[in-house]
A and B are shown apart, each in its own frame.
Chain A
């Protein structure tokens, strides 16, 4: 996931806070309205008067999946251009106005969606709606400020990938695991493709994807729903809808044999193994069981990977597992770095042994209970933040056409049984469905090398 800039310590996106009125120990509910404006803009509003603050999230249905060959990284570059000026708002004025008035904001792009958000004191609702509406209505882009952001994004790529240990591993893994171009390439894109982007590309992309009927506006916090809807109409109604963009074909051909690659990375000091299996996308039925599977395998010190691979066998300092969470075909990934003097084959064997155990051996009741409680805490913890709720409502609406998942998703996850977990483990953890990338240190002269 790429951001407009580093997420800052400012503001308060801490997952520890309160929700709407509720009785202790009962599951809180988020109430909201879900409205479609005449121009197709979907508007979701949820009142929460617990603090004099609101958040607004605009989720556009576009991401790097929509990029064409030769323009990798463009959706994210475009996100940067959304801060470079529109009809009524000068370049950079957007973030100046938000921060100058005590707010917090950012933009972020992934494979499936592009998200813009602001959190502000409650008296600045007009400001937030005006800013978002103006740049949905018009962009004013010069070659000069496009070139400026191409540079900034290229630095973002260097900072996040080219100058980081293991920074290129994830790209290698995705390129090998996926055959469909939509997910095969990274969100950040290549330096060459970024450099080739031009103002016509920006114009075309804006026209195609930045239409009200291709966006979801979610607003949560110390606001009045009626007032919000009236103001949304005032600021957004003049923006005409566009023909819906042609959906991208996300079909991923079935994998028939294990794929494996070794890469050398001169910036790393210890070898790492990354594994990936194709799995269905976020919020699919099997995805629920895969979330619980990931918790059992790698969440905390009571997890199987930690207890066996880290603590008992002492092969690694950490083994993580997770699904990539994409809307289309997803990946279940495992990442682990070998301790000094341990080898990748030893580490791989130990990880494989745990995978076999979960496919065939018993899953303890407490492991399922743990997953349920972790899900519940995650849900309760997220409710205190208006921004968290605004983003979740937009995400559920876009990915599953069901913003009410904010209330029902937890129940779904809690229905997952040990048998479900075993079923998905057996179904997806098969060698022919697997991609493996090993990253080895390439000792460069003068670097100090591996100790």
Chain B
């Protein structure tokens, strides 16, 4: 590690009009001496970099509350003649699916646009698509929220939000369309089992979350078959309520215009007196387990290594974000540099944090050719261990932090994205200056804090290993890490 490398072959482009001037350039070596954590990356330090950090202040939306409890956030941005909106409804996600009926949130959302008291599904499609507007209702299989979102050209925004309100408030869940939906969806439930990524995700969620709602990644053939329009109607009635919801509008519209439009279209959305949705953390993880999904004819192994971590409001969120950036938060992370750029095991290797209202996950994953499964898993585990055992070198640490802070400027190109950050802030009840203070908070994170977080969260006795691939070749390798639970592609344990 930490060795700069000498280039041996040099190719020069300097070849003018037939005179090939292939200039062999002796490569200087220690320039900059900014060693990254792998010989695959050599920092010569000669490129002109501006050390100034652009001061970025996110524009603030206008915020207000409707009598029915709906929170309103409007970010006026006149740069393009279009408007986007999203209505987020906490409590209508699959986290709150009735017991034993996974997928009710997803089915309800999908069926809401299949007909209202005044419009059929094909009328809805034609009205929207002729305007080139979109309205999407999204449920979720395990997360807390559902949403109704969309966008249109400015001139059609009133009609678009009006139609969205109709879909939100007056869906009829027609039986004939539900039967069609079931046939299509049954096919996708079959189809998804051919994907290595789906199988890895399914098994990982099951291991990490157990019986917690977040352990679900899909409805089942049985729950799809069992659902009736009445199930969906009941879920819609109880869950699609404005009491704790937010509508966020960004684009070519003023806050006053937006508010008036919301009053016209969503004024009839009745407050239900529903309590704020509440959440439970998953049960604490048991000891490390090794799980394998046998997927015949695989030529790669999907490797997922992870654990339970934190919720979005955890005081460790910033520290863990920096830790994650160091180990695998993109092409500058150690996993990418080591497993791909140095070893050539994979096309990519990354890590990520998933944090919402309850304790979420930290996950590192990669897809590698079957033959290198053993060294790739060993190296991946070694990178996790290194996070715990060694302090991050100062230069690397500062680079990752600067990357996080400086990238914030890029979000300013999109008003919808800016507004999204404010919605996140509102949903998790973060302070109003949360984003303005992000640079300050990230810069305050220390190397010692990151190492302590790694020791705490990347505890080897709780790390879970999931692999999907070729059974004959991969299972013997996995046995080095413990007893291997083997599943087939239908998720059935042997």
Provide the residues of chain A in CB contact with B403, threshold 8 Å.
Answer: 99-102
* Complex CA–CA separation, A95 to B403 (angstroms): 11
Taking a contact as CB atoms under 8 Å apart, the answer to whether B184 and A89 are in contact is no
* Complex CA–CA separation, A269 to B337 (angstroms): 36
Taking a contact as CB atoms under 8 Å apart, the answer to whether A300 and B410 are in contact is no
* Complex CA–CA separation, A414 to B25 (angstroms): 54
- For residues 116 through 173 of chain A, which have their beta carbon under 8 Å from a beta carbon of chain B? 119, 121-124, 126-127, 130-131, 134, 136-143, 145, 147-156, 158-159, 162-165
Q: Which of A24, A127, A155, A199 contacts B154 (CB 8 A)?
A: A24
Provide the residues of chain A in CB contact with B415, threshold 8 Å.
Answer: 16-18, 384
Query: In the assembled complex, how far is the CB of residue A9 from the closest CB belonging to chain B, in whole angstroms?
Result: 9
| Given A92-B36, A140-B11, A384-B413, A123 and B52 contact (CB-CB distance below 8 Å) | yes
Q: Which of A16, A211, A317 contacts B414 (CB 8 A)?
A: A16
| Given A102-B403, A149-B344, A151-B344, A240 and B125 contact (CB-CB distance below 8 Å) | no
Provide the residues of chain B in CB contact with A163, threshold 8 Å.
Answer: 196, 298-300, 367
Interface stretch among B79-87, B139-147, B270-278, B378-386?
A: B79-87
Taking a contact as CB atoms under 8 Å apart, the answer to whether A380 and B80 are in contact is yes
Q: Which of B56, B340, B368, B407 contacts A104 (CB 8 A)?
A: B407
User: Contact string, B259-297, partner A, CB cutoff 8 A, digits 1/0?
Assistant: 000000000000000000000000000000000001111
Interface stretch among B14-22, B203-211, B448-456?
A: B14-22
A85 CB–B CB distance under 8 Å? yes
Taking a contact as CB atoms under 8 Å apart, the answer to whether B190 and A451 are in contact is yes
Q: Which of A52, A154, A156 contacts B54 (CB 8 A)?
A: A52
| Given A24-B154, A138-B10, A158-B369, A151 and B345 contact (CB-CB distance below 8 Å) | yes
B13 CB–A CB distance under 8 Å? yes
Interface stretch among B1-9, B62-70, B316-324?
A: B1-9
Taking a contact as CB atoms under 8 Å apart, the answer to whether B130 and A366 are in contact is yes
B121 CB–A CB distance under 8 Å? yes
Taking a contact as CB atoms under 8 Å apart, the answer to whether B122 and A301 are in contact is yes
Interface stretch among B43-51, B303-311, B355-363?
A: B43-51
Taking a contact as CB atoms under 8 Å apart, the answer to whether A266 and B25 are in contact is no
A258 CB–B CB distance under 8 Å? no
User: Contact string, B215-249, partner A, CB cutoff 8 A, digits 1/0?
Assistant: 00000010000000000000000000000000000
- Most B CB within 10 A of own CB, among A51, A131, A199, A300: A51
- For residues 177 through 211 of chain A, which have their beta carbon under 8 Å from a beta carbon of chain B? 199, 202-203, 206-207, 210-211
* Complex CA–CA separation, A101 to B53 (angstroms): 9
Provide the residues of chain B in CB contact with A301, threshold 8 Å.
Answer: 121-122, 125, 129
Interface stretch among A275-283, A323-331, A430-438, A442-450?
A: A442-450
Q: Which of B23, B47, B299, B488 contacts A158 (CB 8 A)?
A: B299
A96 CB–B CB distance under 8 Å? yes
Interface stretch among A63-71, A371-379, A393-401?
A: A371-379
Q: Which of B11, B43, B347 contacts A90 (CB 8 A)?
A: B43
Q: Which of A5, A19, A145, A149 contacts B80 (CB 8 A)?
A: A19
A242 CB–B CB distance under 8 Å? yes
Taking a contact as CB atoms under 8 Å apart, the answer to whether A96 and B125 are in contact is no
Provide the residues of chain A in CB contact with B60, threshold 8 Å.
Answer: none
Taking a contact as CB atoms under 8 Å apart, the answer to whether B79 and A19 are in contact is yes
* Complex CA–CA separation, A211 to B415 (angstroms): 38
Q: Which of A100, A156, A311 contacts B402 (CB 8 A)?
A: A100
* Complex CA–CA separation, A267 to B408 (angstroms): 41
* Complex CA–CA separation, A87 to B47 (angstroms): 11
A257 CB–B CB distance under 8 Å? no
Provide the residues of chain B in CB contact with A210, threshold 8 Å.
Answer: 13
A239 CB–B CB distance under 8 Å? yes
Q: Which of A91, A104, A123, A380 contacts B81 (CB 8 A)?
A: A380
Taking a contact as CB atoms under 8 Å apart, the answer to whether B78 and A152 are in contact is no
Q: Which of A26, A121, A140, A269 contacts B193 (CB 8 A)?
A: A269
Query: In the assembled complex, how far is the CB of residue B157 from the closest CB belonging to chain A, in whole angstroms?
Result: 11
* Complex CA–CA separation, A10 to B325 (angstroms): 12
A419 CB–B CB distance under 8 Å? no
Taking a contact as CB atoms under 8 Å apart, the answer to whether A137 and B296 are in contact is no
Query: Nearest CB to that of B184 among chain A residues?
Result: A317
Query: In the assembled complex, how far is the CB of residue A73 from the closest CB belonging to chain B, in whole angstroms?
Result: 13
* Complex CA–CA separation, A17 to B81 (angstroms): 9
Taking a contact as CB atoms under 8 Å apart, the answer to whether A154 and B369 are in contact is yes
Provide the residues of chain B in CB contact with A384, threshold 8 Å.
Answer: 79-80, 413-415
| Given A97-B47, A104-B407, A206-B11, A241 and B16 contact (CB-CB distance below 8 Å) | yes
Query: In the assembled complex, how far is the CB of residue A393 from the closest CB belonging to chain B, in whole angstroms?
Result: 16
Taking a contact as CB atoms under 8 Å apart, the answer to whether A92 and B41 are in contact is yes
Taking a contact as CB atoms under 8 Å apart, the answer to whether B180 and A12 are in contact is no
Taking a contact as CB atoms under 8 Å apart, the answer to whether A142 and B299 are in contact is no
A268 CB–B CB distance under 8 Å? yes
A93 CB–B CB distance under 8 Å? yes
* Complex CA–CA separation, A268 to B196 (angstroms): 11
Taking a contact as CB atoms under 8 Å apart, the answer to whether B80 and A89 are in contact is no
Query: In the assembled complex, how far is the CB of residue B220 from the closest CB belonging to chain A, in whole angstroms?
Result: 12
Q: Which of B14, B17, B54, B151 contacts A16 (CB 8 A)?
A: B151
| Given A18-B80, A369-B130, A101 and B367 contact (CB-CB distance below 8 Å) | no
B40 CB–A CB distance under 8 Å? yes
Provide the residues of chain B in CB contact with A10, threshold 8 Å.
Answer: 330, 407
A61 CB–B CB distance under 8 Å? no
- Most A CB within 10 A of own CB, among B79, B180, B399, B406: B79
Taking a contact as CB atoms under 8 Å apart, the answer to whether A121 and B488 are in contact is no
A25 CB–B CB distance under 8 Å? yes
A233 CB–B CB distance under 8 Å? no
Provide the residues of chain A in CB contact with B36, threshold 8 Å.
Answer: 92, 96
B27 CB–A CB distance under 8 Å? yes
Query: In the assembled complex, how far is the CB of residue A150 from the closest CB belonging to chain B, in whole angstroms?
Result: 7
Taking a contact as CB atoms under 8 Å apart, the answer to whether A376 and B153 are in contact is yes
Q: Which of A5, A268, A302 contacts B348 (CB 8 A)?
A: A5
Taking a contact as CB atoms under 8 Å apart, the answer to whether B44 and A16 are in contact is no
A226 CB–B CB distance under 8 Å? no
- For residues 30 through 84 of chain A, which have their beta carbon under 8 Å from a beta carbon of chain B? 50-53
Query: Nearest CB to that of B38 among chain A residues?
Result: A92
Taking a contact as CB atoms under 8 Å apart, the answer to whether A92 and B40 are in contact is yes
Query: In the assembled complex, how far is the CB of residue B106 from the closest CB belonging to chain A, in whole angstroms?
Result: 15
Query: Nearest CB to that of B156 among chain A residues?
Result: A373
Taking a contact as CB atoms under 8 Å apart, the answer to whether A101 and B489 are in contact is no
- Most B CB within 10 A of own CB, among A130, A377, A380: A377
Query: In the assembled complex, how far is the CB of residue A298 from the closest CB belonging to chain B, in whole angstroms?
Result: 12
Taking a contact as CB atoms under 8 Å apart, the answer to whether A373 and B49 are in contact is no
Provide the residues of chain A in CB contact with B186, threshold 8 Å.
Answer: 339-340
Taking a contact as CB atoms under 8 Å apart, the answer to whether A22 and B41 are in contact is no
B77 CB–A CB distance under 8 Å? yes
B155 CB–A CB distance under 8 Å? yes
* Complex CA–CA separation, A119 to B407 (angstroms): 10
* Complex CA–CA separation, A5 to B333 (angstroms): 13
- For residues 309 through 333 of chain A, which have their beta carbon under 8 Å from a beta carbon of chain B? 310-311, 314, 317
Taking a contact as CB atoms under 8 Å apart, the answer to whether A267 and B297 are in contact is yes
- For residues 184 through 198 of chain B, which have their beta carbon under 8 Å from a beta carbon of chain A? 184-188, 190-191, 193-196
Taking a contact as CB atoms under 8 Å apart, the answer to whether A150 and B122 are in contact is no
- For residues 452 through 494 of chain B, which have their beta carbon under 8 Å from a beta carbon of chain A? 488-490
A361 CB–B CB distance under 8 Å? no
Taking a contact as CB atoms under 8 Å apart, the answer to whether B77 and A90 are in contact is no
Residues of B within 8 A of A (CB): 4-5, 7-18, 20, 23, 25, 27, 36, 40-44, 46-50, 52, 54, 56, 77-82, 84, 121-122, 125-126, 128-132, 151-155, 180, 183-188, 190-191, 193-196, 221, 250-252, 294-300, 330-332, 336-337, 340-348, 350, 367-369, 399-400, 402-403, 405-417, 488-490
Query: Which are the 9 A-B pairs with shortest beta-carbon distances?
Result: A18-B79, A102-B406, A151-B344, A90-B42, A373-B132, A92-B41, A301-B125, A51-B412, A240-B16
Q: Can you list 14 A-B contacts (CB < 8 A)?
A: A50-B413, A91-B341, A102-B410, A127-B49, A140-B11, A140-B25, A159-B300, A240-B13, A266-B296, A302-B128, A314-B183, A380-B81, A444-B297, A447-B295
Q: A14-B416, A91-B41, A152-B346 are in contact. List 8 more A-B contacts (CB 8 A).
A: A17-B77, A138-B11, A141-B9, A155-B346, A269-B191, A317-B185, A380-B80, A384-B413
